[in-house]
Structure 1
Amino acid sequence: MGGVKIIKRFASVTVCAFFAVCVSAQSKSALSLYNEGQNFQSAANYYRAIESYREALDINPRYSDAWHALAQCSYELDQFELCVQYCDEALKFTARYSDIQNLKAMALISLGRLDDAKTVFNEVLSRYPNDVESRFGLAQLSLFNGSLSSAESMYLDALKRDGTNRKALLSLALVSAELGKDAVAQRYVNQALQYHSGNAQVHFLAAYLALRRNDFVDAERRARSAIQIDSSYDAAYKLLADILYAQKRYAEVVDMCDYRILHNRSLSDAWYLKGLAQTQQGQIEKAIASFNTGLSLNPQDEIMRLALEQIVDQNLPIEDARRSTWAAYHIAKAAEYKRDFKGPFERYEYQRALTIDPLGSAARQKYASLLSRDKLWESYLQQIRFIEENRPEVDLSSFVQTDENSPVIKKSSQQVENEDYIEALDSMMIENLAHTWNVDPFYLDKTRWNISVYYVVDDVQLIHPDAERIVTQAVCDIFRGEATTAVEVDSAAVSGYGEAYRLARAAGKDYFVILSVEEMERSVRIAGTVYSARTGTKTADLSVYRTGNARLASALRRFRQSLLALLPIRGRVLAHASKTILTDLGKNDGIEKGAEFEVVRRGTISTVDSGPGIFYRESDIVGTYVAEVVDEELSSGTFTKRGFYDVLNDDDELVLVKLPSKETQDADGSVLTDTRPAGDADGNAATEAAKEANREAVREDLMVAATETPLIEMIRSIR
């Protein structure tokens, strides 16, 4: 009996010991998984780290440190909604309130919930008045609101509480530089270098700030120091290559890019910079090869694609067969937009394709189909006639005879369709204005505005060096081939406003634009200040901010719309007979039947002294004109003289006074109205398409919850 009791007691002790061991094993397992995750997280292997943390949480769902670490990894992977969710879970099981709340607030900023983020930061400060990280967060909110001085004050408060804080010193240096306080910025940099000389990022940002003030020697020295401290710091290698490029040391730039590519061939930005350097060396084919490789790795890199297309346009023969390959990208993009019923986007892509491959029948046929869809039959006829006249000749001997008399060339269905349309439309055009008045509208000089676009390199582009030059050229290209607006761009930067004004006025321009580009990882801003070339006064400020895919193309289209809406619709009297006159304004200029104009003596119209719009004296008005017959490029109607004598002459000018009601206008515009001036005499949007474009731009701006800048992006990178 006693033996049985001993056995039972032993079994009970064994079972208890077993469960104790299991519990201990579980606890250790959760901790070891957490530590494993920490190692992965330190190596920036966030996916493996997340896997380890999740396994730890499966064992212990109340493990607050694992929830917090999971939130940190989600933040690094831009999964901000998950980050907020995990922070809330972590807060249930921990007393580490400030760290988790600050991370949650930073994720809220990334989600555009700025007011919610501000509330969280203020809650932290109410409990922990000396918390430095929450002050950093409030400073970032000030930067989003455009208040640099407020952000500076917040960083100074943080620095008072921790005089050697690396993030505070570097943030203050960046903000001070943005405010133009270079000496103050340098003082903060020197302090950061004094306290944190062994930190590679401190030397990296010191190099960046030196490059901003064109101190290439110090910039190169600091970049090389960052590399010596951390030989795997790829951003420092890239910055060093940028510094060498700024000094025109192109051979060294290529070597540096090759070194980066050797270690990671998928670095598309290295291929981009290598292509730029090779272009500057005159090695065009090598540059094309570099850009092609970069685009194969990152097809969404719009600036690299523009750089490639610009050197192709400037250096390769128009007959080069490779042009069709590069144009095919835009044809495919246009097809995507067509499926989504995005007409303006589709039209832009076909225009880009034709810029790259003017002789390409594929792009031109698609472009012609847009014209037919908009019922622009005169322009459609011009395009398909060009296609057929430039179709490659075919050797008849290679075809089989269908009878004993003549060989027959095998024609595609598209070719047959084009030939049928040419025949039908030629007969239709007998009664149009061009035939009636014996005028060929496609050879008219319809230039009314001459604008120069300049850029000033006054900032460092960390993502795409030379972005200002490439985007400025792209602004010029989107007007190319359109008769009504001539936009010229200088191939080199101007030193500033003074040089731009001098050049534009000497060239007799109407306006000049000084362009700037701000590029972030996921957004871009194109800003331009428009000036009168006659007086040098400001006409307007234009700014376009876009995020998401195809953001640069979207920004370019919107910038074009904004500029065209400032330019009054102007025309010219081509001929007159009795009370009927022929003008060079038509449907493609946004004109409809019933449009009213004032007719002004030629050479008497000038831009106003300041602001948009035009000026002419009342005494220079010779009468009024109302459009009655409106073709695509021409219109005719009734002229009513002003005064007793009829002093109307050919080449007198027309200024739009009033368009018919909006019910008669197409708010979506057309493939040709996209590129024509669309303003009234006061420089306000006149056509319904231009007004709708302005309304759409407002809607797009409201959709952007928070506008990032390169400064914010740089500060957020500080660890």
Structure 2
Amino acid sequence: MKTPETHRFLPLLILSALLPVFLQAQELPPDHPISLYRQGMEYRRIGDFYRALELFRAATRKNPAYFDPIFASAELFFQLEEYDEALKMVDAALRLSRTDSAARVLKARILVGMGKFKEASDLYTNLLREEPNNTEARLGKAELDLALGKNRNATLEYLDTLQRFPDNRRALLSLGVLLSQQGNVQEAETYFDAALRYHSDNPLVHYLVGEYYFRQRKYDLAVERAKTALSIKPDYPEAHQLLGWISFQQGDYSEAYSRMDRLLSLNRSNPLGFYLKALSALRLGRKDEGITLLRSLVTLAPEDEVARITLEDSLKEHLPVEDNLRKTYAQYHFDRGDKFHDRNLFQRALEEYRRGLQIDPYSKRGRLAYAEIQQKIGFPGYAYNSLEFLKKQNLADRTAGEQLEILTSILSDRPAQRWQYDQFINRKPTLSLSLFVDLSSGALQHGFSELFLARYLADLLIGIPSIQILAPPMAVHTFGEAFQEARQRGTDYFIFLSFGETAREFSIQGDLFLSRTGGKIETFSVYRTGNDRVQNALLQVSSLIKGKLPLRGELLKREFERALVGLGSADGVKKGDKFLILPAQAISLKNDSIGFVYSPKEILGTFTVTDVDDLLCEGTVVKEGFFDRINPGDAVIPYEEQKPKGEPSPSPTPPPSALMLYKKILRIQ
């Protein structure tokens, strides 16, 4: 029979028996798999993911059946958004432990990141059927709902988690971010306050709450949270970045500049630190330093499209057209244009040459290449105009002179020459646009880059002959500001833009409104990943806008039954197209859709195209009724209701706003 003393003594016996095992575990050699794994976890804790991965690989080489480093590698690759590698590693972990819940949840999260939503959904369904109280699976399912734009479902998952675990950090912060994104500010603050109450020692909590206050323009509170995050974790780069943003937003560019110096002292190659430091220098009037910093950033990260766009815009704004730096950075686009040209990607080549010429308008190489590509895609008028510019600037060489002679012959029997009408000087745009950037939505990794991106889009739109941009893009915080400004400008339409950017994705969402009434006409959204994602997204948006806007021309000249109209092949007009002719004041834009409103009684006649030029077309006029009331200055619109052209907005994939919200919440670990 065991006495009470025996019961008290038994744990001591067990402990003494296990002590050598504990000591042995502590004294493992440095190259033992367990030691390597522990070292890797320590590097992971301090944020050195690459060193951690190296140690996890070393542990796995020593013991290929060691689950922990394989699973940890999968987690890190997931955090680095290397989803293919993460999937490979988590599958390897599951081969060692098929029913491991954490690995199954991670695999589902990876599949969501890869856009394989159906596979991820099936995994979550099966796992939650087996383990209905698995909190990580429920939070992962909420991430899937967010990526699909099912915000209500995600909200319910987070609320259900908080009913069971009121202090769950991921649920509290995710719900706060989600609600703030939806404009439910008071509710969002409730959950942020709870996160601060339960997790006051966590720097991420303070940072996210500070970021929220920054978006709400409560700058003092944002500063307090960011500084608290730094008091817990002094080398927290995101908190330094947030303090820099706050200072920049408040106009304290010196403090923003100094803060970025502190950030760069932690990591000299931090591109976002370079970027905001450069913008701060530009705002302080130190244009040479700002441009030098942007040049350094483009050298450091050649794939950083936003930095390059900002640099090019700064060169155009601050340096004279003959400056050698402008020539240097224009050369980049001419080289890219040549590469696209060699691959017969003529439209992409054209856009590169156009961009290069915006930076260096007097480039002989650029003008010749631009003229050649225009001629190849069927616009000899544009080609001639480009070479004529070189001639007027005394920059034309023998090659340019020979090309001008050839083009003069080609153009001699086209409408512009027959009617003696300079299509590039006298043909005017027929629709005006205003561009506004919505600062209250969207989230950009490159803080304060919105206007640079909007200006790039404006530069693309200026290349569409029917569109006129009356003023540079403007940043606003509310729709009302944009509506009021657009009405005062008197533009036909205005576009309300928001941008989203992470390290690997870029998105644009735009709402097209009628300036007269503020009525929404159309919404378009574009999401891109991979190389050239920013440029590709902006190009697609310009194509969408061109395809959506209604076509309207002006009757420029008339001789009996023949007439010249200000629409050409660059507008998509071709021989045989038929148009209605109406008094210019008799038509107006529709309030709720693309198109025109007019009374059939106002129709003066029809115009049928018989020949086209780049920006003009010639055709025959047939009057409506007994009296001939058709005169120059009348409006010409498509005979049939115009169908939208261009690429449709992607519909099978979730909207960019959903994917960006998902990415933001994904940071919450």
Q: How does 1:220-369 map to 2 (within 5 A)?
A: 220-369=223-372
Query: Following TM superposition, by how much is the alpha carbon of 1:287 offset from its aligned partner in structure 2, in angstroms?
Result: 1.6
| 1:141-172 alpha-carbon deviations (Å, 9 max, x no partner) | 11012122221211122222322222222112
In the aligned structure 2, how far is the partner of 1:588 from the partner of 1:492?
28
SS of match in other structure, 2:277? helix
Residues 1:41 and 2:44 are matched in the alignment: yes
Query: Following TM superposition, by how much is the alpha carbon of 1:241 offset from its aligned partner in structure 2, in angstroms?
Result: 0.6
| 1:306-351 alpha-carbon deviations (Å, 9 max, x no partner) | 2222232233222223211111122222233334433332222211
In the aligned structure 1, how far is the partner of 2:317 from the partner of 2:108?
49
Instruction: State the AA in 2 paired with 1:646.
Output: D
In the aligned structure 1, how far is the partner of 2:58 from the partner of 2:270?
33
Q: Is 2:511–2:522's contact at 8 Å kept on the other side of the alignment?
A: yes
Structure 1 regions of 5+ residues with no counterpart? 1-20, 393-413, 659-680
Taking a change above 3 Å as real, the CA distance of residues 382 and 85 of structure 1, as seen in their structure-2 partners, is closer
Residues 1:713 and 2:663 are matched in the alignment: yes
Residues 1:536 and 2:518 are matched in the alignment: yes
Q: Alignment partner for residue 86 of structure 1, among 54, 71, 89? A: 89
Q: Tell me the residue number matched to 1:575.
A: 557
In the aligned structure 1, how far is the partner of 2:444 from the partner of 2:477?
21
Instruction: State the AA in 1 paired with 2:37.
Output: Y
Taking a change above 3 Å as real, the CA distance of residues 421 and 50 of structure 1, as seen in their structure-2 partners, is closer
Q: Tell me the residue number matched to 1:29.
A: 32
SS of match in other structure, 2:476? coil
| 1:600-656 alpha-carbon deviations (Å, 9 max, x no partner) | 123222101221101222122111111112233332222111111222212222112
Larger radius of gyration between Structure 1 and Structure 2: 1
In the aligned structure 2, how far is the partner of 1:76 from the partner of 1:258?
27
Q: Alignment partner for residue 446 of structure 1, among 411, 428, 432? A: 428
Q: Tell me the residue number matched to 2:490.
A: 508
Q: Is 1:112–1:705's contact at 8 Å kept on the other side of the alignment?
A: no
Q: Alignment partner for residue 153 of structure 2, among 150, 155, 177? A: 150
Query: Following TM superposition, by how much is the alpha carbon of 1:568 offset from its aligned partner in structure 2, in angstroms?
Result: 2.3
TM-score by length of 2: 0.90
Q: Alignment partner for residue 447 of structure 2, among 437, 458, 465? A: 465
In the aligned structure 2, how far is the partner of 1:163 from the partner of 1:189?
13
Instruction: State the AA in 1 paired with 2:554.
Output: R
Q: Alignment partner for residue 592 of structure 2, among 598, 606, 610? A: 610
Q: Tell me the residue number matched to 1:635.
A: 617
Q: Tell me the residue number matched to 1:193.
A: 196
Q: Is 1:476–1:488's contact at 8 Å kept on the other side of the alignment?
A: no
Q: Is 1:241–1:257's contact at 8 Å kept on the other side of the alignment?
A: yes
In the aligned structure 1, how far is the partner of 2:653 from the partner of 2:515?
35
Instruction: State the AA in 1 paired with 2:495.
Output: V
Query: Following TM superposition, by how much is the alpha carbon of 1:706 offset from its aligned partner in structure 2, in angstroms?
Result: 9.0
How much is the aligned-residue C-alpha RMSD, in angstroms?
2.7
In the aligned structure 1, how far is the partner of 2:137 from the partner of 2:205?
22
In the aligned structure 2, how far is the partner of 1:705 from the partner of 1:588?
31
Q: Is 1:454–1:489's contact at 8 Å kept on the other side of the alignment?
A: no
Q: Alignment partner for residue 622 of structure 1, among 559, 581, 604? A: 604
Q: Is 1:269–1:294's contact at 8 Å kept on the other side of the alignment?
A: no
Structure 2 regions of 5+ residues with no counterpart? 1-23
In the aligned structure 1, how far is the partner of 2:287 from the partner of 2:61?
58
Taking a change above 3 Å as real, the CA distance of residues 573 and 235 of structure 1, as seen in their structure-2 partners, is same
| 1:91-139 alpha-carbon deviations (Å, 9 max, x no partner) | 3444872122112221121222222222222333233332211111011
Q: Tell me the residue number matched to 1:551.
A: 533
In the aligned structure 2, how far is the partner of 1:159 from the partner of 1:642?
71
Q: Tell me the residue number matched to 2:137.
A: 134
Q: Is 1:476–1:489's contact at 8 Å kept on the other side of the alignment?
A: no
Q: Alignment partner for residue 209 of structure 1, among 208, 212, 229? A: 212
Q: Which contiguous aligned blocks of 4+ residues in structure 1 show a shift greater than 6 angstroms?
A: 24-28, 703-707
Q: Is 1:602–1:651's contact at 8 Å kept on the other side of the alignment?
A: yes
Deviates more, 1:119-128 or 1:109-118: 119-128
Residues 1:107 and 2:148 are matched in the alignment: no
Q: Is 2:148–2:658's contact at 8 Å kept on the other side of the alignment?
A: no
In the aligned structure 1, how far is the partner of 2:549 from the partner of 2:30?
73
Q: Tell me the residue number matched to 1:15.
A: none
SS of match in other structure, 2:535? helix
Matched residues, number: 644
Q: Is 1:566–1:613's contact at 8 Å kept on the other side of the alignment?
A: no
Q: Is 1:113–1:705's contact at 8 Å kept on the other side of the alignment?
A: no
In the aligned structure 1, how far is the partner of 2:667 from the partner of 2:445?
14
Identity, % of aligned pairs?
A: 30
Query: Following TM superposition, by how much is the alpha carbon of 1:502 offset from its aligned partner in structure 2, in angstroms?
Result: 2.6
Query: Following TM superposition, by how much is the alpha carbon of 1:453 offset from its aligned partner in structure 2, in angstroms?
Result: 1.4
